[in-house]
Structure 1
Amino acid sequence: MDTAEDLAREADEEFDENSDFVTFDMAGERYAFPMQRVQEIIRMPAVVKVPLGPPSLEGLANLRGRVLPVVSLRTCCTMEQTEHDETTRVIVVDGGVPLGFVVDRVSSVISIDPQQVEPAESVQSTVNSDVLVGVIKSGEGEMTTVLDVDRLIGSQFTRLASQKAGGRDNSAVARVSEESDADADLDDTLELVSFAVEGQEYALPIDQVQEIVQAPESVSHVPNAGSRVLGVIDLRGRLLPVVSMRRVFGLPVTPLEPQNRIVVVSIDGGVVGVVMDTVREVLRVPHQLVAPLPSVVAGEGRKTEVESVCRLEDGKRLVSVLSVNRMFDSPEVRNEIADYRQEDERDMVDERSDAADDGRGDEELFVVFRLDDEEYAVDVDAVQEIIRVPESLIRVPKSYDFVEGLVNLRGTVLPVVDLRTRLGLPRTERDERQRIVVLIIGGVRTGFIVDSVAEVARVGRNVLEPAPELSAEQARVVSRVANLPEQQRMLLLVQVDQLLAAGQADQVTELCVTVPDEVLVGV
């Protein structure tokens, strides 16, 4: 906690450096921001509401092609809310990223003498002194309270404050690492992606995994190719050789199914997709629970692919940690992958040029749906199907509030989640426009009720940008935005694998396993 001396010194430094201030009114009192922190002042724009954000967030606005978080300064200062009117303005400040504070009215720009300043702690104000720098006194007895931009941001948006202090990495893996910083010291944990093959659990270090995609119905085979590579798939306009983990382990290869996942890893000379039976979860394992593979079982051949073993749940759950380098250590395997890629590129080039590929190239395909008046989107590859909401669902007692129930989808149990409730939005009455978007999360089909499905949109990668990370959960679930100012639209891109946390996904999986078959009869 800062002392009075600290506050006074901070105020002196602030005012010595900044003699110009933008003043504005809120709730009948006058406040100010240092002029050098103000980028511009705009009228209240149209905003897109963002779920799971802090209470002060009014939404995201488009500011000449930039995504601008817009924040209620009244809420930040615990003042009563009021309706916006013609005098309402948004002061855009530099907070590491542009951030707009909504104020009642902008007054003027003033220049002051440092002698006019008193420490904020020495005066009474309706605003908590933690976010004040000082108070400017005029000759007429009026007072203008100067607010600390950085403290305001830090009090509401700790993630923005940390980005300003330490920079920003927008990759998916970096976000996972940033989240784990809040829970544990990364220096003392090993981050893994776990998966299953023939009922056994394995894992890869998360820094060796580029991405995880759903396995397609089939892969393209090349004549006379070796035995280790299943084939090749098109991954957003590039050819990806695909290897079966079952074949690597010497197990029988089974047909591709919806729960299969392809883990994309890097090796010398390119990337390779490895088909897993299913991907389970992201693990953060303390190093003391990780032990090297015992020398008695480490030897030549397949066993060398396992470099360590994690002992979880008091030793009842053992996870074998694999090494990508060891998996593809054989020159024969590397040559086979390289030959396969070259052979496939030669054989498929005419077909790819004639068949107007899937049109992705520099674009991505999304299924767009609506909740309230906002548009959300998920990658089209993550969507299994879209179905109508049935008249009745099987209710499940003692489950999460957002679990609506179960439906019989062609003989299989489909858990259904109310996406509004999951994202902190109010429930609504069922209507004919609502649909269930069926996704696969953790190897389990899960349905999400949305207000309506709008379209399949083709979006250029040049308009995709990271969503402002305004809260931990929002940053996980809404990872990117598609800013389309020409269409006056902004799509909130949902990270499918983050819709359910690990514990929530486990309970949904348990629902599918434990419900008796006879319960589904007639539904």
Structure 2
Amino acid sequence: MSHDPHIPSESGDRSAASATARQFVTFLIDRETYAVPLAEVQEIIRLPEMVDVPLAPQNLAGLANLRGTVLPVTSLRRVFGLPERAHDDATRVVVVSQGTPFGFVVDRMASVVTSEPSEIDGTEGLQSTVDTDMLSGIIRRVGGMVMIIDPTRLMQSGAPSRPADRKGERTDIPAEAGAARAETTVSDEIQLVSFGLAGQEYALPIEHVQEIVQVPDVVNTVPRADASMIGVINLRDRLLPLVSLRTLFGLAETGLCDQSRIVVVSWGGQGAARSVGIVTDTVKEVLRVPRAIVDPLPDLLSGGGSLREVEAICRIDQGKRLVSILSAERLFDAATRLEGTTTDQTGTAKDERMSQKAEDEEQFVVFRLASEEYGVRIDAVHEIVRVPEQLTRVPRTPPFIEGVVNLRGAVLPVVDQRRRFQLPDTERNDRQRIMVFLIEGVRTGFIVDAVSEVLRIPRAVIGPAPDLGQDGGGAVDRIANLAESKRIIMLLDVARLLSRSEVADLRQAA
């Protein structure tokens, strides 16, 4: 056990203790002293940074990263129904192991004590405000008594029962429901990732977009490189050349800002795929548009060669919004020499390594709610659109349904994800987006605070979510623990975001 140096021990005073004596770690909550068996304590740590889990039991303080392991942390004050208090330098987390580690927050540590069996009584007749179901005994001491907490019962405490209207319902909603109908609607559509550049909107077919990441603090320059090449970065053990789309298009450079993003674009056939990061002013949306509103670039515009990278124009909102669709192949005909500046002499072996690496990763769209990060598999995201200025309210619908919007002629019910996860409301702003998913055949939009990036995450750092007794059918089914960047991303199962009864409510709203 990692022992806190500030915790005194009685071991020196009890050297003659019998072989049947037991040792306990003691600590204070409010004015009461409690203990847990020393043998079950894995370590004692300072209060770590934690992430909040939506719809989790009230007693859960959050999830922390303990040297690569996701650690659920319980608040003993909440368990005992005591008022919250600000954490200070004395606050500690006691980590115990019940097959998997979990921790609980205490006000401060006291000491390690040794007790004979004759000093330990049962909980019968205990006059205390503490629920005795969580106690396994009482240690009689000269200055009073110490209550022994049973870690197993503590870990099981506070898991809420499911709401009455969900009893008997399956929470593993099959994605196949309505899939046949969805297939007919998406076959005549294309999916695009749109981004802004010098006040204009451009897009790339989503199959050419590997991921979207923030611009790192350090970009390594390449001597004697093309003017449009910003440099190279290390993206998960591979060198990625960065190209300025502004320079490539002959536009004035404005420098990088907080909104700048790197769109990692791939092109080329199987076994010969290449990747380049293009730096854009901002990433806007993921669009799913009918092929009927996509027109090839007119000959008058393409003949001169100045717009050769643009292969089509998408007419949105009856032509009020025009999006230029780029060709990944044409875009990087001019950039192929850039990619060569970072290629080693073992190209074939490198391609094989990269192919193997891709198989060991999963791709997620990462978004934020309040101060936490969430992710959904990219293939579950139908599109990402802006939140309109006004949504149409539908009477007699659940409070988490914000309203409906007209999305290219179809009625789309919209859920306020903050409200669904019982988080505080926030004012509408330009960073918010609607993420569109298909749940039991119903296309549904979920308002999130911001969509931050498309991220490839190694499967090695993804694990099942701790059994937290979540409401909502356990929408958080996995956790990505990115220890190096000190990030914990909660991965959602889209099929579990709503129950069957809630999907029925959405059908009525639509």
Q: Could you say which residue in structure 1 is the equivalent of 2:90?
A: 87
Percent identity between matched residues is 45
Question: Which digits, 9 at most, give the CA deviation of each residue in 1:25-74, with x for residues without a partner?
Answer: 11111110011111110000000110010001011000000000011011
- The one of 376, 396, 409 equivalent to 1:411 is 409
| Structure-2 separation of matches of 1:16 and 1:132 | 24
Query: Compared with structure 1, are the counterparts of its residues 193 and 408 closer, same or farther at alpha carbon in structure 2 (3 Å cutoff)?
Result: closer
Question: Which digits, 9 at most, give the CA deviation of each residue in 1:212-251, with x for residues without a partner?
Answer: 9999859xxxxxxxxxxxxxx9xx9xx9xxxxxxxxxxxx
Does the 8 Å contact 2:175/2:440 carry over to 1?
no
| Structure-2 separation of matches of 1:193 and 1:415 | 18
| Structure-2 separation of matches of 1:195 and 1:417 | 20
Matched, 1:64 2:67: yes
Segments of structure 1 that go 5 or more residues without pairing to the other structure are 1-14, 160-177, 200-211, 219-232, 240-256, 259-349, 513-523
TM-aligned CA deviation for residue 195 of structure 1: 4.2
Segments of structure 2 that go 5 or more residues without pairing to the other structure are 1-17, 189-206, 211-269, 271-287, 290-347
Q: Could you say which residue in structure 2 is the equivalent of 1:428?
A: 426
TM normalised by structure 1 equals 0.58
- The one of 473, 482, 485 equivalent to 1:484 is 482
**When you count helix as a share of all residues, which structure comes out higher?**
1
Question: Which digits, 9 at most, give the CA deviation of each residue in 1:70-99, with x for residues without a partner?
Answer: 110111122222111100000011233211
Question: Which digits, 9 at most, give the CA deviation of each residue in 1:451-488, with x for residues without a partner?
Answer: 01100011011110001110143662000010001011
Which amino acid letter does the alignment assign opposite residue 23 of structure 1? T
Structure 1 counterpart SS, 2:358: coil
| Structure-1 separation of matches of 2:411 and 2:356 | 32
Structure 2 counterpart SS, 1:59: strand
| Structure-1 separation of matches of 2:77 and 2:118 | 29
Does the 8 Å contact 2:404/2:412 carry over to 1?
yes
TM-aligned CA deviation for residue 405 of structure 1: 0.6
Q: Could you say which residue in structure 1 is the equivalent of 2:368?
A: 370
Does the 8 Å contact 1:158/1:470 carry over to 2?
no
Query: Compared with structure 1, are the counterparts of its residues 155 and 213 closer, same or farther at alpha carbon in structure 2 (3 Å cutoff)?
Result: farther
Which amino acid letter does the alignment assign opposite residue 450 of structure 1? V
1:23-422 paired onto structure 2 within 5 Å: 23-138=26-141, 140-157=142-159, 195=177, 217=187, 360-422=358-420
TM-aligned CA deviation for residue 101 of structure 1: 0.5
| Structure-2 separation of matches of 1:415 and 1:135 | 56
Query: Compared with structure 1, are the counterparts of its residues 494 and 192 closer, same or farther at alpha carbon in structure 2 (3 Å cutoff)?
Result: closer
Q: Could you say which residue in structure 2 is the equivalent of 1:460?
A: 458
TM-aligned CA deviation for residue 388 of structure 1: 0.9
Q: Which has the higher contact order (CA 8 A, sep 6+)?
A: 2
TM-aligned CA deviation for residue 143 of structure 1: 1.3
Question: Which digits, 9 at most, give the CA deviation of each residue in 1:423-444, with x for residues without a partner?
Answer: 1112111111111111111122
User: Over aligned residues, Cα RMSD in angstroms?
Assistant: 3.8
Question: Which digits, 9 at most, give the CA deviation of each residue in 1:279-320, with x for residues without a partner?
Answer: xxxxxxxxxxxxxxxxxxxxxxxxxxxxxxxxxxxxxxxxxx
Query: Compared with structure 1, are the counterparts of its residues 475 and 41 closer, same or farther at alpha carbon in structure 2 (3 Å cutoff)?
Result: farther
Structure 2 counterpart SS, 1:120: coil
| Structure-2 separation of matches of 1:214 and 1:59 | 43
| Structure-1 separation of matches of 2:129 and 2:82 | 8
TM-aligned CA deviation for residue 23 of structure 1: 0.3
| Structure-2 separation of matches of 1:379 and 1:470 | 22
| Structure-2 separation of matches of 1:392 and 1:100 | 45
Question: Which digits, 9 at most, give the CA deviation of each residue in 1:231-280, with x for residues without a partner?
Answer: xx9xx9xx9xxxxxxxxxxxxxxxxx99xxxxxxxxxxxxxxxxxxxxxx
